[in-house]
Structure 1
Amino acid sequence: MANRTRTYIAADWDGDKNAIDQMHTWNDSNKWSLSFTDAHDLTQARDSSLNCSIKESLAARMDASKTFVLIVGNGTRSRKAGECTYCEHYDNGKCKKGHTISNDSFLEYECKKAVRDRNDIKLVVLYNAATVDKRKCPDAIKNYGTHTVMQKMKDGKHYWDYESVKTAMGQ
């Protein structure tokens, strides 16, 4: 097993980019004490890669991580990217390349792997909201790890909740 020193962030990179960017802002700033080394800096898969190849790359990054962070937003459960049915090599229930068929999206795959590895990796589920709503969380992980909000409400406005995130991550 690889030396686990990284933090792996999983999210709907389209719908929750603001939350991902905020995590990096806190990490990169001298003002905040949140500190992590992003597992996504290890390897990169090309957008033209096969879904199964991308999942292999995700697994390698996760195997090097001590913390798995899932950011849950409004579209997390409905993401389908990564399912074999969306691959050009998928034909009538089979892979023309001979790979095993998986109808897990990238997010579902990441969550299932994190739960399988939960004895070796800390699970943190952050909601890109001011409330924890497990109905938005993928079933595979909704009963595991630490669940908390990334935002708080004050005077009817949403603000980033650094302390909740830092506490959930154990820093």
Structure 2
Amino acid sequence: MAYRTKTYIAADWDGDKNAVDKLCEWNDGEKWSLSFTDAHDLTQARDDSLNCSIKASLAIRMDASKTFVLIVGSNTKSRRSGECTYCSNFDNGKCKTGHTVSNDSFIEYECKKAVRDRENIKIVILYNAATVDKSKCPDIIKAYGTHAPMQKMKDGKHYWDYQSVKNAMGL
């Protein structure tokens, strides 16, 4: 097995890009002590039209990761992107290229792999909110890892909570 040194970030990149960007900002900023090497810098799928190619690329990145971070937002659990039914090579219940058909979204695939690999990867689940609401977390992973909010409420307003994230990540 390869030595795991990276941090893998999974999220609904459309709905929770603000939270992903904040995590990366804290990682890149000099005044913050949050420090990790993003697994997404390792490799990218070459054929973005095939969901199975993307999942293979995700697996390579996850296999190099010591920490799996899932950012949970309002739509994380319901995201369907990555299912074979959304691939141009899916026809009449089969893959035209001969790959195994999977109804897992990218997020479900990532979560299932993290749970399978949990003895080799730390699982951190961050909520793009001021509270932890496990009903928004994918069922496969909600019983695992450290769960923490990324925000806090003060005077009726939401603020990013760096300390909560840092504590959850064990940094």
> Shared fold by TM > 0.5?
yes
CA distance, structure 2, for counterparts of residue 47 and residue 79 of structure 1: 21
Secondary structure, aligned partner of 2:35: coil
Distance 1:119 1:101 in 2: 27
| Residue in 1 that maps onto 2:2 | 2
SS of the residue 1:44 aligns to: coil
User: Structure 1 stretches (4+) deviating beyond 2 angstroms?
Assistant: 46-49
Query: How many residues in Structure 1 have an aligned counterpart in Structure 2?
Result: 171
Q: Which structure 2 segments of 5+ residues have no match? A: none
Q: Deviations over 1:5-55 (max 9, x none)?
A: 000000000000000000011000110000000000000124733100100
Q: 1:104 aligns to what SS in structure 2? A: coil
Matches within 5 A, 1:10-159: 10-46=10-46, 48-159=48-159
Q: Is the 2:69–2:126 contact (alpha carbons within 8 Å) kept by the matching residues of 1?
A: yes
TM-score (norm 2): 0.98
Give identity over the alignment, percent: 80
Q: Secondary structure of the residue that 2:144 maps to in structure 1?
A: coil
> CA offsets per residue over residues 58-79 of structure 1, 9 Å max, x none?
0000000000000000010111
State the Cα RMSD in Å.
0.8
TM-score for the superposition, normalised by structure 1? 0.98
**Whole-angstrom distance in 1 between the partners of 2:169 and 2:90:** 39
Deviations 1:80-106 (A, max 9, x none): 110000011111111111000000000
